[in-house]
Structure 1
Amino acid sequence: MNLGIAVLGATGYIGTPYRDEIREAGPAARIVTLCARRRDRLEAAQQKDKADLITDDWQAAIEHPEVNCVVVATPDALHFDPVIACAALDKHVFCEKPVALNADQAHQIWTAFQNKPLGHFVPFWTRYVPVFARAKQFVQSGRLGEIRSVIYRWHNPRPASIPFTWRDDATLSAAGSIADVGSHAYDTIRWIINQEANRVLAHAEVLAPAKPDVGPIDLTEAIDIGQKQEAGSATTLRKATAFDYANIIWQFQDGTVGSLVLSHAPTLRKGLAPEVELHGTEGSLAIDRLQSELTVVRSDGTVELLETVPNPGFGNRFIKHAFPAIHDRAAGQTSEHPGLYDGWRVQIFTDAVVASVERGEWVDLSEFDSPANDVTKA
């Protein structure tokens, strides 16, 4: 099956590198239409991609007769309508995470695709970081015994002088850092230990000060401006409304406990401790993403650098992961790669965390779940 692809959010922080990888994938995948809001950048992208159509109308982009697969790389609030339309039009879909603004939307999306011969993929890329993939193998070997606690620290500081972007706007970003990097973190842990969380207690804030408002720019431009400290002349400052920090206590279905700290705040820096700790009845495992190292602490207290995992990078993610998932699901086969079911399950977690922040109390994920007959995944 050859893929004719529409890319929504084609010229943004996410869409631009995705287009590069699609072009590199060869003749079995061709970019047909590009959709974005800035005409100048669309015209430049069209020159690279040789696309038939450029537009700011997502419906025109996905309804093109030669499009049978849609890449949704827009802000979170703009995912739901195009993805639901893809199901109605029998188009395969690659949808950025978070797949929707809330669990109800995510469930509607999953239901729309669940019983159709359509391919789908959700890019929870952290699964494919070699040190995490190796950690999953180690946990599955049973050498840690039963996992009893998981501690995760995801610090991704942005430049202190970075301007305001849509990711700071709660009307466009599903839940700030909770949805942005928290979705990756939760998906990775549920994948490694094969458990879903069942309740959470959370606190979240906006830690970064008000940011320069230099207009509608994407994250690539904002980071570049922030690193060069070129936004100092901006006269308007705008305070973010989407959380850039969260501290989450989580409990899983089998009783595993622990915590997850998420941050994009400039003052929470990474590299001081391993990103993940997995504590079991027979030992503990530390995952250091920066050094690509796994360290084990055995039950007798001995510490051993277990492995430095080679990290050649992701390679072409569409060739290796996204396109195989889409082809398998389109053929009615199950796939080991994350899809819309995973996007829905992660959105349930996100909604529960946000509710806990708002209420200041423990929240059960079951409050945001849907009927048990929806658990079949592909």
Structure 2
Amino acid sequence: MPVFACADCGAVLTAPLARVALPDHARQSYGHGLLPVLMKPGTYAVDPEPYGTPWRRWDELEPGEAEARGVYAPVPVLSCGPPKGVAVAPGDVRGTVLIPGRCEGYCCGLTGWDGPNLACERCGRAVATRVDDCSLWQATWLAPRAVHRLPAAAPEPPIIGWDALPEEEPAPPVGQYGAWSPQWEAAIGKALARLLAASGGAPVTVPDGPVAEVLRPTLDALLPPGPRARSVALAGPGLPASGADIALVPKHPQTGEAWEPPGRAERVPLAFDVWYYLAFQDDLAVPNDRVPVPVTGGAPEGVRRDDPPPLLPWGPFRADRAVFLDALARTPEVRRPWLRRIYDDLRARPYGSPF
């Protein structure tokens, strides 16, 4: 597995790492508490989008400059920094020191909003940005122009075949206290942007069940009713062919590549763990392998069960509005008048339906 080193002096800055797909919630801002670490230990991911300083307001951009950076609708600020930042777990970083005067944050830690705040301990070059403030997923982002990848000292892990996934239980959609998972809200928000574009402005029909619970309210609120609806269905390994117009397909957790469905259905990629849960669970709160009573009969009379109740959400599911709008702004179809109207209307109503 490769390591990353300082581009100036060659000092090794990370442990050996295996590449995985960038999580959909990588740039998410959520709540007002401390969030967990973004990347699993021993892994790294590359963000293909530009991010970081310098930041420029939309009205400061030259014509065509935003589209050249993959943004097709107005955003508050646009990063003019380099693309392909590398996200790693903070515990996998070696040989760095904090840069005095670069430790900006809101209240609990570092935001990295003003640029790299970690320097190479050997030569002093700014090489990375540590992010660990409240509302932000904790990560260290290696600056793409300040580091380079050294050849693997150990073989890369093999790419797992679709039929062998998953190797571990997917994350549930509902947390301990009844709140929807922020990872789910980000993943569904990103998929909704692509799904809305794929609809072409026509109504969309969604099958009943968990898929309808997370998608139907938003689609019904944003798309007009009508007889010429396009159908949406889950497609992927282990599922029968659906014949739907739009296929919700999984993204490979290692490569990020979307599964290719048979036929002519338009693909809408979805994070693998979210897709897997939607495909193989009948309910968003209770796993299939749980039973309410012992299989050999009911509990004896007078005996009360002491196992915890199923995790039930305290309210309806709502996709992450900021993730949704960011993904929609980066979708070329947003230049179409009908979709641009939806985008502008949602930006003008920060707390309006359906978010």
TM-score normalised by structure 1 residue count: 0.27
Who wins on radius of gyration, i.e. which is larger?
2
Higher normalized strand content (fraction of residues): 1
TM-score normalised by structure 2 residue count: 0.28
Higher normalized helix content (fraction of residues): 1
